[in-house]
A = this chain, B = another copy of it.
Amino acid sequence: MATIDANPPSGTRDYLPAEVVRRERAFATIRRTFARHGFEPLDTPAFERLDVLQGKYGEEGDQLIFKILRRGEHEATGEADLALRYDLTVPLARVAARYGSQLPTPFKRYHIAPVWRADRPGKGRFREFFQCDVDVVGSDSLVADAATIQAVADVLDRLGLSGFRVLINARPALAGLIEAYGVPDGLAESALVALDKLDKVGVDGVAAELTERGLPPAAIDTLVADLGSVDLAGAVRERVADTARGAEGLAQVDRVLDLVGKVPGGEVAYAPVLARGLSYYTGPVFEVVHAGLDATIAAGGRYDGLIGMFQGSDVPATGGSLGVERILLLLEEAEADGDGVAGPDVLVTVMDEEGAADALRLAQHLRDAGFDTDLYAGGGSRKLGKQLRYADRRAARIAVIRGAEERAAGTVAVKDLASGEQTTVGEAALIDHLTDTLDR
């Protein structure tokens, strides 16, 4: 027993208190902001029946599903009947099929929850990680796309991640682009994958990749010229607009831009080569990047073909996903200097066994007055030094100390743990003193 590995399973994490507090605080802001926008929370079980998940994520995705062994007499078969949630979209599709008539139409929901994927663990890649999805189910109106983007942008702003850019494109505009530049049909997807890397590899990099992927030189030359022009968006737009599908897509983009308008903390712009998982999306798509952080922190789009998967009919839907694990990392880095996670206001020490009941009373009195109050609950020696080290560990701001002497005198010693200053105050003055010291 003593030799057991005490680490969490590979690819998973234990969250110690400061981390839980940091994560919960971000989740609370996200929940609050989505509620402010009229989105409702949904939650579903950690596992689904295997047949609900299997076949929904492609061959590669299927390999990454954590499967749960059948139980009891069936365990010996080595078969699985359940599997851990792989994303939040399939559960939403199941919920839409199951409770359709009980839900408002459209159904504006968000879902913050862990998902599990048996990926090879690596830096920043986990087997258990949170997703945060926001979707509008049952509306074909671009108002739904705009409302989603507005809510996502508001969340990012309220999380303190201002300075982001919301990049918008539309699936038909991409089809128009392919047509306008004379990309052969069979190479369309391949070309879009290469173009999507423009921000990362630059024009020359894209040109090299397009060549490698076998695009006709004429198409590459025109593309490279436009991608390299000062007004990239304008140059590409002009050609895309010349095709019927391109014009349709640009109309979607312009409508969404118009509906979203200005967002606090960020900019919104047309991004002509933004592709985002082409096979999946059917209308507008978006991506939120943070220039200073060089990271995609949210993305989404319209996907009218997915949510109806269990209903045998199409259900229009649009949504987005916050890269919540990445966002949490960014927030952690941002507050790393200040540490950020506050401990209790007060630690009440227990100086002797006779004074323990008095200390518990005192702690409760301080809580009733609104102070977060820890009480030293350790056994063994009650040396003050040990209790102050505990207070330091807990990042408490004030230690309230009351030994036999103070009890007899009706006083309390109050130690400011930042400055080290200690003063003695009368019992009756304690709350006022703490209110002043803690600047309440």
| A259 with B360, Cβ < 8 A, contacts A45-B13, A140-B379, A143-B377 known | yes
- Across the interface, do B82 and A9 meet the contact criterion of CB distance under 8 Å? yes
Among the stretches A72-80, A190-198, A330-338, A425-433, the one at the interface with B is: A72-80
Q: In this complex, what residue of B is CB-closest to A394?
A: B104
- Across the interface, do A37 and B373 meet the contact criterion of CB distance under 8 Å? yes
- Across the interface, do A109 and B17 meet the contact criterion of CB distance under 8 Å? yes
A71's partner among B118, B316, B361 (CB-CB below 8 A) is: B118
Among the stretches A92-100, A167-175, A413-421, the one at the interface with B is: A92-100
Number of copies: 2
Q: Is A385 an interface residue (CB 8 A)?
A: no
A15's partner among B21, B43, B136 (CB-CB below 8 A) is: B43
Q: Is A201 an interface residue (CB 8 A)?
A: no
What separation, in Å, do the CA atoms of A71 and B128 have in the docked complex? Answer: 15
- Across the interface, do A45 and B14 meet the contact criterion of CB distance under 8 Å? yes
What separation, in Å, do the CA atoms of A48 and B13 have in the docked complex? Answer: 11
Chain B residues lying within 8 Å of A118, measured Cβ to Cβ, are 71-72
- Across the interface, do A38 and B344 meet the contact criterion of CB distance under 8 Å? yes
Chain B residues lying within 8 Å of A45, measured Cβ to Cβ, are 8-9, 12-14, 128
- Across the interface, do A4 and B43 meet the contact criterion of CB distance under 8 Å? no
Min Cβ gap A1→B in Å is 6
What separation, in Å, do the CA atoms of A43 and B136 have in the docked complex? Answer: 31
| A347 with B38, Cβ < 8 A, contacts A104-B393, A360-B147 known | yes
A197-217 vs B, CB cutoff 8 Å, 1 = contact: the mask equals 000000000000000000000
- Across the interface, do B44 and A8 meet the contact criterion of CB distance under 8 Å? yes
Chain B residues lying within 8 Å of A147, measured Cβ to Cβ, are 360, 375, 377
Q: List 24 A-B contacts (CB under 8 A).
A: A6-B310, A7-B98, A8-B44, A8-B48, A12-B45, A13-B45, A14-B44, A20-B43, A23-B43, A24-B31, A28-B28, A38-B347, A46-B116, A47-B128, A67-B71, A67-B75, A68-B69, A108-B377, A144-B378, A146-B360, A147-B375, A150-B360, A150-B364, A259-B360
The list of the 6 closest CB pairs from A to B, nearest first, reads A78-B78, A38-B374, A2-B312, A141-B379, A17-B40, A12-B45
